[in-house]
Chains A and B, each alone.
Chain A
Amino acid sequence: MKKAIPTPKKPWQPTALDKLEDLLIVLAAFGLAGASVKFTGLDGKLGFFFSLFFALLVLNFGFHYLKRGTAAAKDSLLQVLAVMAIVITLIPIVSIVATVFSKGYKGLHWGILTKDMALASVNDPIANGGLLHALAGTIIMVGGALIISFPIGVLTALYLTEIRGPLARPIKFLVQAMSGVPSIVAGLFILSSLIYPVTKQLSGLMGSLALTILMIPTIARTAEEMLHLIPNELREAGVALGGTQWRTVAGVVLPAAKSGLVTAIILGIARIIGETAPLLLVSGGGDAVNLNPTQGAMGSLPYYIWKAFLTGGTEEAFARAWGGMLVLLSFIFILFGLARYLSGRKVG
């Protein structure tokens, strides 16, 4: 006769009472903060948040001190500080996203993804023109930069982690230094080394090259960190099975680092997708759709936003700029979501 199986429990998780206590502490902190804004010199949102955080810290520490002693109180203090850090981190992000959405939707209309600004000016009614040229330009230039930077960045990382050649140290230093290069310098470099002496015209390709200079260090550094995380045992196992170094890297090391490499791509794109300054110099900012990266000025979303803000002045121009930001932000979200989804899928 088998005994009945009891239900699985998690006695270590906070009980309903614990949760209620925490909730009461938060509510009390809100109450204190409200009171301090009302009755003391503290004022406005900043004063409210300051006293809220302070009240939360003190109440939480005091409660856990009385309940379970100093050590537990310090433990919960750290938890409160960590939660606060998250909140402080989130405030600007949430605020930016919320502002962009609330102001940006006015700049949207059905034609925004099918029309360009060739026959419209930034001060025209919103329904005139669109940002197809800017979106296309951004996709072409960022895509081009990614196609050039990713292999170079990953190969650099492989040189640093797998080949570990004699130049590894200085290269590591250089890559680090390169990630601090101001973006305008990258633009000027392309301008003076390629555009003036060779091509003698602005183009999307030049934009890609300028962005590449900014993107390679980010990708190389991130990929290097990710490859360092791969345990050496895997490399040894691959080589011990008779694999060459190249086969081991391609068949074992890189697949194991796959999601890390996607992170490298994401960080690389994040580094460049909002760049305005170098593009201003080397790809200009056409108002018409230009799908040929080798010839002529090419628009981009940051340039579109910049131009609407700077050369406009009417309500329509501002709405256009916010609309451009909304499109850029959504584009980035979709891109990153897609990258995460693809890298999260199981290999093979």
Chain B
Amino acid sequence: MTTAHAQPASLANVAAARTLSQPGTALLGTGLETRGVHAWFGKKHVLSDVTLDFAAGTVTALIGPSGCGKSTFLRTLNRMHEFIPTAAMAGEVLLDGKDIYSPGTDVTKIRLRVGMVFQKPNPFPSMTIGENVLSGLKLAQLKKENTDDLLESCLTRAGLWNEVKDRLGEHGGALSGGQQQRLCIARSLAVEPQVLLMDEPCSALDPGSTFRIEETISELAKSMTIVIVTHNMQQAARVSDYTAFFLSDGGPGEMIEAAPTSRIFSSPQDKRTEDYVTGRFG
């Protein structure tokens, strides 16, 4: 398959070397689906007609050049899009088969089930490391027994426990950038989301921290659905089961192609996808 196009062998091989996660264990719910999602900022149409399924227990990478609408798309998935006053949208986002935009939906519950990790590490400055991890419980007013166990398990799953277990009372700002980002991941795990959205979580980090976060992602994918926006195609090839390519030709961003990651990097169906993943533009 790879011979037809001049693919960089590494990316295709990296992607092929992954074992595809098997989607759809009943425990994890039926996952997240979008139906014809459009997004606007004011009059500007920034995202057009995205229909995409995220099977439970899989990692999906959203790739594409800057300004193609992939971050906007990500933010429609847990209703963070509406945080911007001029924002508008159309279409449906189904979580376990129910539209999260249907009237009467409690938006805070949606965000509890669909967590988010941001591009810049943003631990709460007034809280200690331990308080940061458990902050979601407080903010969402959840009662939990045995928060010590939860604290340890969240930090362990985020791959940070060994580094911070003796300094849980220190402030989060004292950590390095990579540690802060893993702290933010641990924080989003504490409320036990079904889906975790990650908006370029490694773009401000060094390779070592990036590697550790990618390990974390692979570990987390066993128990939740992950959607990750990334500019790093190596990363997409390394961590994701499925990849969706977004592009804007000056108009609204569109999803050009979505397929298992190994196929996107070895035999993309669309010429534009091929140009992008081979580095001919973007």
Q: Which A residues form the contact surface with B (CB < 8 A)?
A: 3, 5-12, 15, 68, 70-72
> What is the chain A residue whose CB lies nearest that of B99?
A11
Interface of B, helix, strand, loop or mixed by DSSP: strand
Q: A5 — which chain B residues lie within 8 A by C-beta? A: 38, 45, 48-49
**Within residues 89 to 108 of chain B, which ones have a CB less than 8 A from any CB in chain A?**
89-91, 101-103, 106-108
Q: A71 — which chain B residues lie within 8 A by C-beta? A: 108, 141
A-B CB contact pairs (8 Å), 26 listed: A3-B36, A3-B49, A5-B38, A5-B45, A5-B48, A5-B49, A6-B36, A6-B38, A6-B90, A6-B91, A7-B90, A8-B38, A8-B88, A8-B90, A9-B88, A9-B89, A9-B90, A10-B88, A11-B101, A11-B103, A12-B82, A15-B103, A68-B106, A70-B141, A71-B141, A72-B106
Interface of A, helix, strand, loop or mixed by DSSP: loop
Q: Are A11 and B89 in contact (CB-based, < 8 A)?
A: yes
Q: Is B40 an interface residue (CB 8 A)?
A: yes
Q: B222 — which chain A residues lie within 8 A by C-beta? A: none
Complex Cα distance, B89 from A72, in Å, reads 24
Q: Are A8 and B106 in contact (CB-based, < 8 A)?
A: no
Q: Are B89 and A8 in contact (CB-based, < 8 A)?
A: yes
**Within residues 73 to 98 of chain B, which ones have a CB less than 8 A from any CB in chain A?**
79, 82, 87-91
Mask for B11-41, Cβ within 8 A of A = 1, else 0? 0000000000000000000000000101010
**Within residues 246 to 266 of chain B, which ones have a CB less than 8 A from any CB in chain A?**
none
Complex Cα distance, B108 from A6, in Å, reads 27
Complex Cα distance, B104 from A72, in Å, reads 12
Complex Cα distance, B135 from A222, in Å, reads 34
Q: A72 — which chain B residues lie within 8 A by C-beta? A: 106
> What is the chain A residue whose CB lies nearest that of B140?
A71
A105 to chain B, nearest CB (A): 40
Complex Cα distance, B102 from A64, in Å, reads 18
> What is the chain B residue whose CB lies nearest that of A18?
B103
Q: Which B residues form the contact surface with A (CB < 8 A)?
A: 36, 38, 40, 45, 48-49, 79, 82, 87-91, 101-103, 106-108, 141
Q: B87 — which chain A residues lie within 8 A by C-beta? A: 10
Q: A8 — which chain B residues lie within 8 A by C-beta? A: 38, 40, 45, 88-90
Q: B45 — which chain A residues lie within 8 A by C-beta? A: 5, 8
> What is the chain B residue whose CB lies nearest that of A10?
B88
Q: B79 — which chain A residues lie within 8 A by C-beta? A: 12
A3, A8, A68, A70 interface centre (most CB from chain B within 10 Å)? A8
Q: A70 — which chain B residues lie within 8 A by C-beta? A: 141
Complex Cα distance, B91 from A7, in Å, reads 10
Q: B40 — which chain A residues lie within 8 A by C-beta? A: 8
Q: A7 — which chain B residues lie within 8 A by C-beta? A: 90
Q: A10 — which chain B residues lie within 8 A by C-beta? A: 82, 87-89
Q: B141 — which chain A residues lie within 8 A by C-beta? A: 70-71
Q: B108 — which chain A residues lie within 8 A by C-beta? A: 71
Q: B91 — which chain A residues lie within 8 A by C-beta? A: 6
A4 to chain B, nearest CB (A): 10
Q: A15 — which chain B residues lie within 8 A by C-beta? A: 103
A43 to chain B, nearest CB (A): 40
Q: B106 — which chain A residues lie within 8 A by C-beta? A: 68, 72
> What is the chain A residue whose CB lies nearest that of B104?
A68
A6, A7, A15 interface centre (most CB from chain B within 10 Å)? A6
B23 to chain A, nearest CB (A): 27
Complex Cα distance, B88 from A10, in Å, reads 5
> What is the chain B residue whose CB lies nearest that of A11?
B101
Complex Cα distance, B252 from A3, in Å, reads 13
> What is the chain B residue whose CB lies nearest that of A4?
B49
Q: Are A12 and B107 in contact (CB-based, < 8 A)?
A: yes
The 9 closest A-B pairs by CB, nearest first: A8-B88, A6-B90, A12-B82, A11-B101, A8-B40, A10-B88, A9-B90, A71-B141, A15-B103
Q: A3 — which chain B residues lie within 8 A by C-beta? A: 36, 49
> What is the chain A residue whose CB lies nearest that of B92?
A11
Complex Cα distance, B129 from A271, in Å, reads 45
A323 to chain B, nearest CB (A): 43
> What is the chain B residue whose CB lies nearest that of A69?
B106
Q: B88 — which chain A residues lie within 8 A by C-beta? A: 8-10
Complex Cα distance, B105 from A15, in Å, reads 12
Complex Cα distance, B54 from A3, in Å, reads 23
Complex Cα distance, B36 from A3, in Å, reads 10
> What is the chain A residue whose CB lies nearest that of B43?
A8
Complex Cα distance, B101 from A86, in Å, reads 31
A192 to chain B, nearest CB (A): 49
Complex Cα distance, B91 from A3, in Å, reads 13
A3, A7, A12 interface centre (most CB from chain B within 10 Å)? A12
B144 to chain A, nearest CB (A): 16
Complex Cα distance, B45 from A7, in Å, reads 10
Complex Cα distance, B183 from A249, in Å, reads 37
